[in-house]
Amino acid sequence: MESEELRNVGLKVTTPRLKILSLLESAKAKHMTAETIYRQLSESGEVIGLATVYRALAQFEAAGLITRHQFEGGQTVFELERGPHHDHIVCVRCGRVEEFYDKVIEDRQREIAEKLGFTLSDHALTLYGECSGGACPAKNG
Amino acid sequence: MESEELRNVGLKVTTPRLKILSLLESAKAKHMTAETIYRQLSESGEVIGLATVYRALAQFEAAGLITRHQFEGGQTVFELERGPHHDHIVCVRCGRVEEFYDKVIEDRQREIAEKLGFTLSDHALTLYGECSGGACPAKNG
DNA sequence: TTCGCAAGTGAGAATGGTTCTCACTGTACA
DNA sequence: TGTACAGTGAGAACCATTCTCACTTGCGAA
B72-84 pLDDT per residue, tens: 877 899 999 887 8
Nucleotide nearest to B16 (CA to C1'): D8
Q: What's the whole-number mean pLDDT along residues B121-140?
A: 76
Architecture (CATH level 2) of domain A83-141: 2-Layer Sandwich (3.30)
- pLDDT for the residue numbered B141: 35
User: CA quadruple B94, B95, B99, B103: dihedral positive or negative?
Assistant: positive
Q: What's the whole-number mean pLDDT along residues B118-130?
A: 91
Query: Is the pLDDT reported for residue A139 higher than 70?
Result: no
Query: Is the pLDDT reported for residue B3 higher than 90?
Result: no
Q: pLDDT higher for A107 or B3?
A: A107
Give per-residue pLDDT as tens, A70-91: 887 778 999 998 878 899 998 8
Q: Does domain B1-82 have CATH number 1.10.10.10?
A: yes
Task: Give, in order, the Cα–Cα distances in Å from A24 to each of A29, A107, B21.
Answer: 9, 30, 45
Interface test with A, best of B116, B119, B120, B132 (most A CBs within 10 A): B116
Q: What's the whole-number mean pLDDT along residues A48-68?
A: 96
Listed by range, residues with Cβ under 7 angstroms from strand C are: A 11-12, 14-17, 47-52, 55-56; B 7, 12-15, 33-35, 50-51, 54, 58, 74, 76
d(Cα B85, Cα B83) in Å, to the nearest integer? Answer: 7
- pLDDT for the residue numbered B139: 47
What are the residue ranges of CATH 1.10.10.10 in chain A?
A: 1-82
- pLDDT for the residue numbered A140: 45
CA distance B32 to chain A (A): 18
